[in-house]
A = this chain, B = another copy of it.
Amino acid sequence: MSNGYWKDLQEKMEHWLDDALPEADVPQKSIFTAMRYSLMDGGKRIRPMLVLEFCRMCGGDAEVAAPFACAVEMIHTYSLIHDDLPCMDNSDLRRGRPSNHKVFGEASALLAGDGLLTAAFETMLSEQSIRRAGADRAARAAGILASAAGAYGMVGGQVLDLAAEGKQVSLEYLEAMDHRKTGALIIASAKMGCAVAGAEPDKLDAAERYASALGLAFQIQDDILDVTSTPEELGKTVGGDAENEKSTYVSLLGLDKAREQVALLTAQAKDALAVFGDQADALRELADSLASRAK
């Protein structure tokens, strides 16, 4: 399993995203420009990759999974746009470029976020998507994403993040927060991939265990990079956590323990893939590469 495998998949993903949210010849076309500015910005596409890979490993078709892969990236992107707004993190930079509201203004960025969140469901529940996946799988997969993205999941994690601002919080709190803020969407991606392929419950369980460990490792690695990286390497502001007096895995565990945790969780994630045999080699590689990433 080479790096080329992920690159090919990523390229396909860019085409699917481009198709799912094209520029539109409507009076309100400016909103499509704002939505696409953030959606088509060369993110890592980790969540969509999980949808596609778990679907493939469960015997499903990539064309069936594509709208669901696009949807999770739309939801992830909307959350970044809203998170960057002045009333939230007030971030000027995102993936090496000015954040959405710095380019389009606050009101348009707010609406671009709302539009992307809604577009996720438009995409999953289009006539074509329902026909390809079958209504039962489409409805259930969209339901998985809705639950993960909402007030019990990602939005709830944002709330805990806000409440923790300027405060020292416990490791337990931090894990509860990240499980919602980052973990929920990553877990949903893996489960949606299984769901659109009509997989058995043991595979959904394995997907959840893999993604849960991967998600936490990813977040800890994020915290590590915030103290060890430069804005040039990372393409975004660094040191922001310490500046905002945010508790992080690094501030709570120390850098060495945090790195140990990443290694441990990465091993757990790979173990969870046993049921998929060597079909899961790409996902094992993904776990390793995320643990060692520098951006």
Contacts and interface: CB of A to CB of B under 8 A. Distances in A.
Interface of A: 24, 26-28, 30-32, 35, 78, 82, 85, 87-88, 105-108, 110-111, 113-115, 117-119, 121-122, 125-127, 130, 134-136, 138-140, 142-143, 146-147, 149-152, 155-160, 162-163, 173, 176, 180
B162 A108 contact: yes
Nearest to A116: B151
A261 to B, nearest CB: 22
Interface of A, helix, strand, loop or mixed by DSSP:
helix
Given A110-B85, A136-B135, A119 B150 contact: yes
Contacts of A28: 151, 156-157, 159-160, 163, 180
Contacts of A173: 27
Copies held by the complex: 2
Contacts of A31: 151, 155-156, 159
B106 A87 contact: yes
Contact of A87 (B110, B114, B125, B157): B110
The 4 closest A-B pairs by CB, nearest first: A125-B143, A87-B106, A118-B150, A28-B156
A155 B180 CA distance: 27
Contacts of A152: 24, 26
22 contacts: A24-B151, A27-B160, A28-B151, A28-B157, A31-B155, A32-B151, A35-B151, A82-B114, A87-B106, A110-B110, A114-B114, A117-B117, A118-B151, A122-B150, A125-B143, A130-B139, A134-B135, A135-B136, A135-B138, A135-B139, A136-B136, A139-B139
